Amino acid sequence: MDLAIEIMHSKPRLDLEQELRVERAAFAAKVRAARAVLGLSQDQFARRIGLTQKSIHRIEQGIVQPKRQTVLKIQRCWFEKGISFENLRNGGFRLAVDGDTLLRTQDDGLDRRLHLTVA
């Protein structure tokens, strides 16, 4: 009976661990996508939100689970820049960018091309 209980308890833990991995990967992809829309390097983005380039790199690679405070800083930056995300049921997301944000990135004279690859 104890064995059956252990097996029943281990499956939800695996599902939770998988869900956390998907969530971390989705957040990493969101950071990369938003940064690309804004045309910022990792270093430039890091300075805007008070982090180091290495921290942004680690977040974008999904190596670390960022602290809640860091997530809030990043989300606040997105909001202020007119970038939002719609979470989908399967762990994916949709990116929405305000028209003003698109115009600002075009008006600064830099050649910025957004390439989105979905695998």
Over the stretch 17-49, which tens digit does the pLDDT of each residue have? 888 889 999 999 999 999 999 999 999 999 999
pLDDT at 117 over 80: no
Q: Which fold has domain 2-107?
A: 434 Repressor (Amino-terminal Domain) (1.10.260)
Q: Nearest 5°: phi and psi at 32?
A: -65, -45
What is the DSSP secondary structure assignment for residue 11, as one 8-state letter?
H
Assess contact for 52 and 46: CB atoms under 8 A: yes
- Domains of the chain, residue spans: 2-107
Angle between helices 2-38 and 53-60 (to 10 degrees): 130
